Amino acid sequence: MKKYLMVTLIAIFVGGLFAFYMFYGIDKNVTDVIKNDNHITVFQSGVFKDEENAVIEKNKYEQAIIIKDENLYRVYIGVSYDEEVTLAYESYFKKNNYNYYCKKLEVSDNYLTNLKKYEELIKRSFNEDIYININKDLLAKLSEELI
């Protein structure tokens, strides 16, 4: 009987140490997942050293904007935060043979709040006319945000 009791106590002790090791710091990980993230996805169609080339690229897309970043000109054709909207935009861009590169940008809380409101409209009825009009407005606001 003493043997079984001793084996059981050792098993509980070893199991407790193992559990402590595995779950140590779990609260930090959960907090990191819940934390607000001010990074949005922008769809960039090109980066140019020459402004004329950036304008040529911009004119290929109805809703594009040019952002000057130090000595480079970046052409953005879309912006999103929500994963569902990002996938819808990617589908739209592929359907229309748009060349783009997705990248992350950090924005202010104010811009992010407005973006989320617009994305609710997009999710309710995603069609090309709504996308183009809303995206134009979002890109114009992004241009103001980054300047």
Mean pLDDT of the chain: 84
pTM (predicted TM-score): 0.71
CA–CA gap between residue 68 and residue 73 (Å, rounded)? 5
The answer to whether the beta carbons of residues 118 and 138 sit under 8 Å apart is: yes
Which of 37-41, 55-59, 71-75 bottoms out in mean pLDDT, i.e. has the lowest?
37-41
| pLDDT in the model for residue 51 | 94
Task: Give the domain ranges of the chain.
Answer: 2-34, 39-146
* Type of residue numbered 56: I
Nearest by Cα to 42 from 72, 64, 68, 71? 64
Architecture of domain 39-146: 2-Layer Sandwich (3.30)
What single string gives the DSSP state of each residue in 84-126? Answer: HHHHHHHHHHHHTT---EEEEEE--HHHHHHHHHHHHHHHHS-
